[in-house]
Amino acid sequence: MIISKKKPAEEIIQALEGETKVIVVGCGECATVTQTGGEKEVAEMKAILEEAGKKVLATDVVHTGCAELDVKRVLRQHKEAVKDTEAFVVLSCGAGTQAVRAATDKHVIPGTDPLFLGNIRRSMDFIEKCSHCGACVIDEYGAICPVTRCAKGLLNGPCGGTDHGKCEVDPEMDCAWVLIHEQLKKEGREDKRTRIHGPKEWNVIRRPGELAEAREKVGAAKSGGE
């Protein structure tokens, strides 16, 4: 799940300076779960903007805010408003905001600050455990990711900042390397700690990432046929 938090309303209103007509778009997936862009938050944003003297021409919550075809389809349902509006405020992660970007040429404003790919521990309690580095190595680390959960992404053991099992960056945060070590011990796989791990190969995926399986297959078929 993509975890985000609400942007301060003043920031959004400031971004809308000189513009009156606006459409608010939310997302039915992550932004709904994180309570930043569901039905309720979209209605709240509408009220805030109206309070600030804006004219909200339409609101909608796209089922999956990062599905570009979904977003286009939803905006087509608000044809007149979309034609008339000056700006869009999007309450979703940055991917959803850019899905709206792909569907219009008007001013698009992010209404949240996207934070990380997070696990849901319980309602409104999220933790980052993976930063999609392109090559998952966590079998070597007791399925606890050092790339993400160690503040320095260290692959061969803790730094000197471990303090009573906590991280130098934040005394509230567990040192990932203590967790990894304890986990491997529980599994009886401490031998995993007896080999040097090379640095991450940051080129395993080109950034910005792109994966188009269908297209790739077409390409392969084509070159195979030649």
Contact range with ligand SF4 by CB under 6 A, out of 66-74, 103-111, 144-152, 214-222: 144-152
Distance CA 201, CA 193 (A): 20
In the complex, the smallest distance separating the C-beta of residue 198 from another protein, rounded to whole angstroms, is 7
- Give which of ligand SF4, another protein, none residue 131 binds (C-beta under 5 to 8 Å, depending on kind): ligand SF4
Distance CA 56, CA 196 (A): 58
Q: Which token pair is 145?
A: 């990711």
Does residue 147 touch ligand SF4 according to CB under 6 A? yes
Nearer to another protein, 202 or 219 (CB): 202
Contact range with ligand SF4 by CB under 6 A, out of 107-115, 162-170, 188-196, 210-218: 162-170
Cα 199-201-206 angle, rounded to 5 deg: 155
Does residue 180 touch ligand SF4 according to CB under 6 A? no
- Give which of another protein, ligand SF4, none residue 94 binds (C-beta under 5 to 8 Å, depending on kind): none
- Give which of ligand SF4, another protein, none residue 78 binds (C-beta under 5 to 8 Å, depending on kind): none
- Tokens 């990380």 locate to 116
Does residue 205 touch ligand SF4 according to CB under 6 A? no
Q: Which token pair is 16?
A: 């809308």
Which H helix or E strand runs over 127? strand 125-128
166: exposed, middle or buried (Cβ count in 10 Å: 0-12, 13-18, 19+) = middle
- Beta-ladder partners of 174: 166
Distance CA 154, CA 161 (A): 12
Distance CA 140, CA 132 (A): 16
**Contact footprint for another protein (CB under 8 A):** 151-165, 168-169, 177-178, 180-181, 193-194, 196, 198-200, 202
**Contact footprint for ligand SF4 (CB under 6 A):** 130-133, 136-138, 145, 147-148, 150-152, 154, 158-159, 161-162, 167-169, 175-177
